[in-house]
Amino acid sequence: MTNSMSNTEFVTNLVENQYKVLKTEVLDQYQIAFEVKKEDVHSILSLLKTSGWIQLSYLSAVDWIKDNEFEVVYIVFNWDKAVHIQIRTRLDRESASINSVLPIYPGCKYYEREAHEFFGIKFPGNPDYEKQLILENWDDIPPLRKDFDPRQYSDKKFSHMEYKNDFVNKDGKVSKQEAREKRFSDADKLRTGGKK
């Protein structure tokens, strides 16, 4: 480990010297984020892996529905240099597809399956990314997309509790609580002789 240079500077130099980075964000001394082009993702990740970022901590996506784009996020970690690196890239929402990083990080297998299940992003190269993992017999659009409304789905499929009329304040009638409050305030009035 070099002492003259902090870990985040080391990463910035490493990545920015070789690749065109759209945006660099240093979150704190333990975390840095790069926004890169879709084509560069795999080579950056393999560069990072050979430089010691051997653990894939997280892989998921964000749905930016206003830009009509998905953002795929890879978070890798190096236990000796202690920096989490976010690699983010944007995909077109209509035909979202990015090659699997399975050859680089074998641990991504289930993360990619889950991202496909919840966002509908395709990961060619991952042998069974299309199999359902968490959900069963799903019959709607992928649930983590922003245009999916779980409330609507829930109302359609599952019946809700119907409360008996006793629990609802029937129109016109004074509820028990209101009556009690009125009684208390009346009692107060009597006690103070009508003054507040």
- For residue 26, give the nearest of 49, 42, 6, 40 by alpha carbon: 6
Which letter, b or e, does each residue of 81-117 get, where b requires 16 or more Cβ atoms within 10 Å of its Cβ? bebbbbbbbbbebeebebebbbebbeebbebbbbbbb
135 C-beta neighbours (distance < 10 Å), count: 13
Q: What residues from 104 to 123 belong to the interface with other proteins (CB under 8 A)?
A: 105-107, 109-111, 118
* Complex with other proteins: residue 127 or 193, whichever CB lies closer: 127
Q: Is 26 in the site for other proteins (CB under 8 A)?
A: no
List the one residue from 34, 45, 87, 88 that touches other proteins (CB under 8 A).
88
Helix runs in 97-161, H state only: 109-119, 150-157
* Residues 66 and 109: beta-carbon distance below 8 Å: no
- Judged by CB under 8 A, the chain residues 123 through 162 that form the site for other proteins are 133-137, 139-140, 143-144, 146, 148, 150-151, 153-154, 157-161
The site for other proteins (CB under 8 A) is made up of: 25, 27-28, 30-31, 33, 54-58, 60, 62-63, 73, 75, 77, 79, 82, 84, 86, 88, 105-107, 109-111, 118, 133-137, 139-140, 143-144, 146, 148, 150-151, 153-154, 157-161
